Amino acid sequence: MVHFVGAGPGAPDLITLRGAELLKQADVIIYAGSLVNPALLEMAKQDCRVYNSATMTLEEVLAVMEQAEAAGETTVRLHTGDPCVYGAIREQMDALDARGIAYDDTPGVSSFCGAAAALCAEYTLPGVSQSVIITRLAGRTPVPEAESLSAMAGHGTSMVIFLSSGMLAQVQQELLKGGAYTEQTPAALVYKATWPEEKTVRCTVGTLAQAGEQAGIRKTALVLVGDFLDSPYEKSKLYDPAFTTEYREGRK
Ligand code: SAH
């Protein structure tokens, strides 16, 4: 059996209890070495075979899984954050289906949650934004035209931009092109959220590229954009003394 596991954003104690248990029991671990904290591998059994997928092709990853399966062994495929966000798990799962190999998926804390935690921020402030757009600039992987960063920026919602901190000038330009954010709209860069070397930089959309350059941030970072970072908001109805909910009678 193959277990896809979300490693969390970096801090080793941010993996789930289920994920940790699977790591402890694995005969084989294939981890995404470019982003998964190697400290997590200390949980592995002494005789566990560990592979770093950063140096492997999809075929090589599958070959390791196939070999383990043939020997009746358990494999953990450890992905950074949550596997469902830019995790390239679909292609692995489809290949496992074709080979008749069973698998399951254990979620993890995505880096967009780790980044919000680093800033003690809430993406969904009433009266500010009730949506979070998770997106990226096109790189070698194209982004569908209708989802271009400028098109996404037209909504003015809370936004998290992955895989793009090496192209901050373009990010800034596209965000402004969308028409809903201004040069003054709050923004932030979070480098290696929850790792010991985490760095946070608060800026505005107009100073994003400059702020990134000054801080030397080019990779392993998220760009957060929106008024949720610094804006007046409305208090939630849920905790309003006058508001009746299923669990609490509102006071007049
Ligand atoms: N599945 C992962 C994302 C993988 S894509 C998740 O759920 O977080 C890789 C990109 O994620 C990086 O280029 C960077 O933009 C972002 N990223 C991953 N870990 C990060 C961290 N700890 N801090 C900031 N950004 C991170």
pLDDT in tens, 1-11: 999 999 999 99
Q: Note the pLDDT tens digit of each residue in 106-151.
A: 999 999 999 999 999 999 999 999 999 999 999 999 999 999 999 9
pLDDT of the residue at 232: 85
Question: Tokens 């953990």, residue?
Answer: 76
| pLDDT bucket at 240, cuts 50 / 70 / 90 | confident
Whether residue 136 lies inside any domain: the answer is yes
Mean pLDDT of 229-245: 87
Protein residues with CB under 6 Å of any ligand 1 atom = 9-10, 35, 79-82, 85-87, 110-111, 114-115, 162-163, 190, 192-195, 220-222
* Both structure tokens of 81: 């954050």
**96 compared with 242, residue with greater pLDDT:** 96
Helices in 164-221 by DSSP H: which ranges?
Answer: 168-177, 208-215
Phi then psi for residue 234, to 5 deg, are: -100, 145
Of 82, 109, 136, the domain-final residue: 109
Could you tell me if residue 244 is inside a domain? no
Residues 99 and 126 in one domain: no
Q: Would you say 113 and 124 are in contact if contact means Cβ atoms under 8 Å apart?
A: no
> Per residue, what are the HEC states of 77-126?
EEECECCCCCCCCHHHHHHHHHHCCCEEEECCCCHHHHHHHHCCCCCCCC
- Whether residue 215 is predicted with pLDDT greater than 90 in this model: the reply is yes
Tokens of 170: 């373009």
pLDDT score, position 243? 87
Nearest to 190 by CA among 91, 119, 94: 119
User: Quick one: tokens of 220?
Assistant: 């392993």
> How many CB atoms lie under 10 A from the CB of residue 226?
28
Please state, in angstroms and rounded to a whole number, the distance separating the CA atoms of residues 161 and 222.
6
The total number of structural domains in the chain stands at: 2
Same domain, 42 and 136: no
Boundary (domain end) residue, out of 88, 109, 130: 109
Residue 50: inside a domain: yes
Going from the Cα of 39 to the center of ligand 1, the distance in angstroms, rounded, reads: 17
* Closest to 219 (Cα-Cα) out of 34, 29, 30, 23: 34
Indicate the top mutation candidate among 162, 163, 167 to test ligand 1's pocket, ranked by most ligand atoms within 8 A of CB. 162
Q: What is the CATH number of the domain that holds 152?
A: 3.30.950.10
Residue 241, domain member (yes or no) = no
Q: What is the pLDDT of residue 238?
A: 82
- Nearest-angstrom CA–CA distance, 226 and 232: 12
Tell whether 243 is covered by a domain. no
Confidence (pLDDT) at 236: 86
Q: What is the pTM of this model?
A: 0.95
Domain that holds residue 36: 2-109
Token code pair at residue 152: 């996404």
Same domain for 141 and 85: no
| Contacts of 173-177 spanning 24+ positions with Cβ under 8 A | 174/137, 174/148, 174/149, 174/150, 175/149, 175/150, 175/205, 175/208, 175/225, 176/205, 176/206, 177/150, 177/153
In a shared domain, residues 6 and 74? yes
Q: How far is the CA of 52 from the centre of ligand 1 (A)?
A: 17
Q: How confident is the model at residue 247 (pLDDT cuts 50, 70, 90)?
A: confident
Average pLDDT, the chain: 96
Mean pLDDT of 173-195: 98
Judge residue 31's burial from the number of C-beta atoms within 10 Å of its C-beta, 0-12 exposed, 13-18 middle, 19 or more buried: buried
* Residue 110 main-chain phi, psi, to 5 deg: -70, 155
- What's the pLDDT at 235? 87
Q: What is the pLDDT of residue 251?
A: 86
- Please check the confidence at residue 252 and state whether its pLDDT lies above 90: no
| Tens-digit pLDDT profile for residues 181-190 | 999 999 999 9
Does residue 9 contact residue 80 with C-beta atoms inside 8 Å?
yes
Q: Is the pLDDT of residue 58 over 90?
A: yes
* Continuous segment of H or E residues that includes residue 186: strand 186-191
Averaged pLDDT for residues 79-92: 98
